[in-house]
Amino acid sequence: MPRALIGIFIIFLTPTVRAFLYNEQDTNLIVGFFHFIITSANPSVTLLPWLSICFISTIFGEYLYEAMNEKSENTYRGLFRIFFTWGIFLIVAGIITGYSLQTFNTMNKDEYGYLLLLKIANDQSFFYLVGMPDFLIRGTASNMLYNLGAALTIIAVAFYFIDLKGKSNNIVRMFNYYGKISLSLFMIHFIFMPLYVKQLNIFLFPIIYIANVGLLGFLMYIWIEFGKGVGSPEWLMVQIGRIGQKTGENIKKTSQIAVVKTKESIKKRRT
């Protein structure tokens, strides 16, 4: 409960803190430093409110960990209900608290970079958007609630069909594959980012986007199949885990040896 309260407190305090830091950053060196740490260098992925995930996600992580250890159907169903219920609740909460439309007159585009998507959307001649919902602008409190809810809901739905219902087909296997290489995809997708900067119209965008996702998956398949995934984030995590395991085993062996020697030394002194 305290972690949830801390996370919610961070989320709703963020707009006030960021507004203060932005307005006062040029008047005080310390304030400017904290503005850089919290907001810069990428205003779309800021320390606040994303810090709240460190507190809130651990709560659901513990539920998941306990369910994976028990491995019973009742526990799995309970886990699904928790994730799905809270996911829907947070989505609705995000929409309710962030349904208002934002424009360049009501929100600072330098502080909330995602607002620039409004200009990009209105550059085409098919429709005109009068504003962008607050819950779709990354870095706002409502967006944080919406993102958390969407993530929990997606996890719940995937867990229901894959683990509870045991569904297995090409689509499920595709999602499993992309999930396993998600870290690598996140890294290499930046290579193709220039394709989307004022290059495609609204009709070509979804086609190229889907094709790009398929291409990235194919490249990762080549990397894993023929290069054994060497150098990928997943490969690095495995290597770090092995090093940590070996270190832990060495520490355990050293401790056991020290205990044995201590006991032998005590026995010798007594005799």
> pLDDT (tens digit, 9 = 90+) per residue, 107-152?
988 888 888 888 888 887 778 889 999 999 988 999 999 999 999 9
Residues 245 and 187 reside in one and the same domain: no
- The pLDDT, as a whole number, for residue 132 is 94
Residues 2 and 122 reside in one and the same domain: yes
List of residues 6+ apart from 217 with CB closer than 8 A: 174, 177, 178, 181, 185
Residues 134 and 224 reside in one and the same domain: no
Residues 80 and 144 reside in one and the same domain: yes
DSSP state of 115: G
- The pLDDT, as a whole number, for residue 75 is 87
Residues 155 and 34 reside in one and the same domain: yes
Residues 149 and 220 reside in one and the same domain: no
- The pLDDT, as a whole number, for residue 170 is 83
- The pLDDT, as a whole number, for residue 242 is 76
- The pLDDT, as a whole number, for residue 95 is 96
Residues of the chain with pLDDT under 50: none
- The pLDDT, as a whole number, for residue 80 is 93
DSSP state of 133: E
Domain endpoint, select from 167, 198, 213: 167
Burial of 188 (0-12, 13-18, 19+ CB in 10 A): middle
- Residue bearing tokens 């098919």: 126
Cβ distance 149 to 95 under 8 Å?
A: no
Residues 96 and 114 reside in one and the same domain: yes
Number of Cβ within 10 Å of residue 107's Cβ equals: 19
- The DSSP code sequence of 197-264 is SS---TTHHHHHHHHHHHHHHHHHHHHHHHHTTTTSHHHHHHHHHHHHHHHHHHHHHHHHHHHHHHHH
Residues 140 and 185 reside in one and the same domain: no
Cβ distance 223 to 232 under 8 Å?
A: yes
- The pLDDT, as a whole number, for residue 214 is 86
Residues 76 and 125 reside in one and the same domain: yes
- pTM here is 0.79
Residues 59 and 144 reside in one and the same domain: yes
Domain limits for position 137 = 1-167
How many separate domains does the chain show? Answer: 3
- The pLDDT, as a whole number, for residue 88 is 96
Nearest to 104 by CA among 124, 88, 121: 121
Dihedral sign for Cα 138, 143, 146, 148, please: positive
As a whole number of angstroms, the distance between CA 134 and CA 98 comes to: 5
As a whole number of angstroms, the distance between CA 190 and CA 244 comes to: 30
- The pLDDT, as a whole number, for residue 189 is 74
